[in-house]
Amino acid sequence: MYRQRQLAIALSQALAGFPAVLVTGPRQSGKTTFLRHEAGEQVDYVSFDDPLERDFATIDPAGFLGRFDKRPVILDEIQYVPALLSHLKMRIDAEPRRCGRWLLTGSQQFGLMRDVSESLAGRVAILELPPFSYPELPRPGLDALLWNGGYPVPALHPDRRDLWLRSYVSTYIERDVRQIRNIPDLRSFNQFLNLAATRHGQEFHAADLARELGISQPTVKSWAGVLEASYIAHFLQPWFRNYGKRVVKTPKFYFHDSALVSLLTRQPDAAAALAGPMGGPLLEGWVVTEAVKAFMALGRKPDVYYWRSHDGLEVDLLIVIGGKLQAVEVKLTATPGAGHVEPLNRFLAIAGDDAVGPGIIICRTAKEKAMPNGHLALPWKSFPAWLQANLAKPEQA
């Protein structure tokens, strides 16, 4: 059964305004299902996972594209045939007002984005489809939500979770890693992947990882780029608008999917994952990722940051809403207290007019709770709806 994706509105707008639309995202996030459902039955489909189609498009691009003169077509995994993009450009330029004709998917960012920007600049709308966000799921409890993650198969079929995740990691390493970077020692990369998962929700220090793995810092940075390019990980950048030496200018590192973190850090079960030392980082990562997904659903680049002072005070998440910063703290507690608002107070005193106003604390409280200085404690399950409503606000002049 198809589950409606929030990106559908942005896709409809893109199809009406651009000759080509590219939907990117990680493998198995539902890109193909999404496009085939939303585009309807009157659309042809080709997958470049098929070596015969890949060879046809490479050897005879004009003949390949000539098959689709009458109907729109989905070209799945376009990164396998980058040379086809220049031929697509010629087709588009011959009929620049014919919108919604070419629907592309791709599973990698860096190389694909370079090829697309060089060949189809101004002709293609680029959208990102991550795994399911909370509003797209059947609303599980927090432990099940973090344990099963957002990829469609484990999220909708928890009984398949373990086998699917192990197979996904194995396939990802064998396929995407080799395509993005020439990494001869996949065993060392696998060790890096496991160690990186233990850093979920922490500042990313390449020197520490390099020392533990016995490899160079440039190699760690390159491999971290692989995780980012394949939508496995996200680097949350610090906010530092002239805040001087008070701010640590190091990104924080998050896996996009909590189920992968639990797998790679060897969590025994859902309850233990939430109750153990990874519980706080898993919840924080979920909040950060939901914010990233909310921007993606609107067809916008995520405008999110964090803030940390040198004396250790930190605001977990800053979301740009209406041109100003909304400060968000994440706590695993069900009973938020006055001490939890101190980072919010400090940041707001420094940010001044750059801030929206009082901050919010995302936690396991049963209902909204007023906190000192106007701050608000919000149940974790209410955060995605709160976020959607606030991101819909117009930008301030």
Mean pLDDT on 335-349: 94
Q: What is the pLDDT of residue 245?
A: 42
Of 281, 285, 259, 254, nearest in space to 270 by CA? 259
C-alpha span between 360 and 13 (Å, rounded): 32
Of 306, 300, 379, 392, nearest in space to 344 by CA? 306
Of 147, 138, 133, 11, nearest in space to 72 by CA? 11
Here the tokens at position 255 are: 């896996």
Q: What is the mean pLDDT of the chain?
A: 92
Q: How far is CA 80 from the centre of its chain?
A: 22
Q: Which helix (H) or strand (E) holds 217?
A: helix 217-229
Query: Domains in the chain, ordered, with CATH?
Result: 8-128 (3.40.50.300)
- Give the model confidence (pLDDT) of 283-338 as tens digits: 999 999 999 999 999 999 999 999 988 788 899 999 999 999 999 999 999 999 99
Mean pLDDT on 69-82: 92
pLDDT higher than 80, residue 174: no
Query: Which band of pLDDT confidence, cut at 50, 70 and 90, is reported for residue 395?
Result: low
Mean pLDDT on 31-46: 93
Q: Are 76 and 32 in contact (CB under 8 A)?
A: yes
C-alpha span between 327 and 13 (Å, rounded): 31
Q: Which amino acid is at 351?
A: A
Query: Which band of pLDDT confidence, cut at 50, 70 and 90, is reported for residue 394?
Result: low
pTM as predicted = 0.93
C-alpha span between 380 and 364 (Å, rounded): 6
Q: What is the pLDDT of residue 246?
A: 42
Mean pLDDT on 111-118: 79
- Give the model confidence (pLDDT) of 212-251 as tens digits: 999 999 999 999 998 998 899 999 999 986 544 445 689 9
Query: β-pairing, 73-76 with 102-106?
Result: parallel
- Give the model confidence (pLDDT) of 179-202 as tens digits: 778 787 888 899 999 999 999 999
Q: Which helix (H) or strand (E) holds 66?
A: helix 61-66
